[in-house]
A and B are shown apart, each in its own frame.
With several copies, the nearest count.
Chain A
Amino acid sequence: MKDIIFDHVLKAYGKNVVVKGLNLNICEGERLVLLGPSGCGKSTTLRMIAGLENITDGQLYMDGRIVNDIPSGKRNVSMVFQNYALFPHMTVEDNISYGLKVQKVDPREIEERSKAAISMLDLNGLEKRKPKELSGGQRQRVALARALVKRSDYFLLDEPLSNLDAQLRVHSRKELVKIHEMYHQTFVYVTHDQVEAMTVGHRIALMYDGILQTIDTPSNVYNRPANVYAARFIGAPSTNILEANLNEGKLIMAGQHIVPPEVWIQKMKENGGDMFYFGIRPEHTKITTDYMDNALKGIVRYTEDYGNKVGVYFDINGKELISVCDNNVPATGEKVYFTPDYSKIHLFDYKTENSIGYPEDLSKHNYGVVYELRGRLAGDRS
Chain B
Amino acid sequence: MKTELNSMKWHILIIIIVCILIIPVVFAVSNSFKTLADAFSNMFNIIPANPTLENYIHVFEKLPFLQITINTFFIAAIVTGFKIITSLLAAYAFVYFHFRGKNLLYFVLISTMFIPFTVIMIPNYLTISCMGFRDNLWGVILPQLSDALGIFLLRQSMRTIPRSLIEAAYLENVSDFKIIKDIIIPLVKPALISTGIIFFINSWNEYVWPVLVLKSKENYTLSLALQMFISAEGGTEFTIAMAVSVMTMLIPLVLYIIFQKHIINTFTMSGIKG
Q: Do chains A and B touch in the complex (CB under 8 A)?
A: yes
List chain A positions with a Cβ less than 8 A from chain B. 47, 50-54, 71-74, 77-79, 81-83, 85, 87-89, 98-99, 102-103, 131-132, 146, 150
Known contacts A74-B173, A102-B172; is-contact A87 B165 (Cβ 8 Å): yes
Say whether B164 contacts A81, CB under 8 Å.
yes
**B188 smallest CB distance to A (angstroms):** 11
B141-177 residues with Cβ-Cβ distance < 8 A to A are 162, 164-165, 167-168, 170-174
Say whether B174 contacts A132, CB under 8 Å.
no
Known contacts A53-B1, A83-B164, A102-B178; is-contact A73 B183 (Cβ 8 Å): no
In the complex, which residues of chain A have a beta carbon less than 8 angstroms from the beta carbon of B3?
A: 71
Say whether A98 contacts B164, CB under 8 Å.
no
In the complex, which residues of chain A have a beta carbon less than 8 angstroms from the beta carbon of B164?
A: 81-83, 85
Say whether A88 contacts B171, CB under 8 Å.
no
B218 interface hit (Cβ, 8 Å): no
CA separation between A294 and B178, bound complex, in Å? 65
Say whether A85 contacts B170, CB under 8 Å.
no
Say whether B167 contacts A103, CB under 8 Å.
no
CA separation between A321 and B168, bound complex, in Å? 37
Say whether B167 contacts A85, CB under 8 Å.
yes
CA separation between A71 and B186, bound complex, in Å? 25
B272 interface hit (Cβ, 8 Å): yes
Say whether B171 contacts A78, CB under 8 Å.
yes
Contacts A/B (CB < 8 Å), 6 sampled: A73-B170, A77-B171, A85-B162, A98-B172, A102-B172, A102-B178
Question: Which chain A residue has the least Cβ–Cβ distance from B183?
Answer: A87
**A298 smallest CB distance to B (angstroms):** 41
CA separation between A82 and B168, bound complex, in Å? 12
Say whether A71 contacts B172, CB under 8 Å.
no
9 shortest interchain CB distances as A-B pairs: A73-B173, A99-B172, A132-B274, A85-B164, A89-B186, A85-B168, A72-B170, A81-B164, A52-B1
In the complex, which residues of chain A have a beta carbon less than 8 angstroms from the beta carbon of B170?
A: 51-52, 71-73
**A32 smallest CB distance to B (angstroms):** 19
**B160 smallest CB distance to A (angstroms):** 12
Question: Which chain A residue has the least Cβ–Cβ distance from B98?
Answer: A54
Say whether B168 contacts A103, CB under 8 Å.
no
CA separation between A88 and B170, bound complex, in Å? 17
In the complex, which residues of chain A have a beta carbon less than 8 angstroms from the beta carbon of B173?
A: 71-74, 102-103
Known contacts A73-B173, A98-B182; is-contact A88 B274 (Cβ 8 Å): yes
Q: Interface 1/0s, chain B 65-107, versus A by CB < 8 A?
A: 0000000000000000000000000000000000000000000
B9 interface hit (Cβ, 8 Å): no
Say whether A88 contacts B187, CB under 8 Å.
yes
B198-230 residues with Cβ-Cβ distance < 8 A to A are none
In the complex, which residues of chain B have a beta carbon less than 8 angstroms from the beta carbon of A52?
A: 1, 167, 170-171
CA separation between A87 and B183, bound complex, in Å? 7
CA separation between A83 and B170, bound complex, in Å? 16
In the complex, which residues of chain B have a beta carbon less than 8 angstroms from the beta carbon of A51?
A: 1, 170-171
Question: Which chain B residue has the least Cβ–Cβ distance from A78?
Answer: B171
Say whether B172 contacts A85, CB under 8 Å.
no
In the complex, which residues of chain A have a beta carbon less than 8 angstroms from the beta carbon of B174?
A: 73, 99, 102
**A358 smallest CB distance to B (angstroms):** 43
**B165 smallest CB distance to A (angstroms):** 5
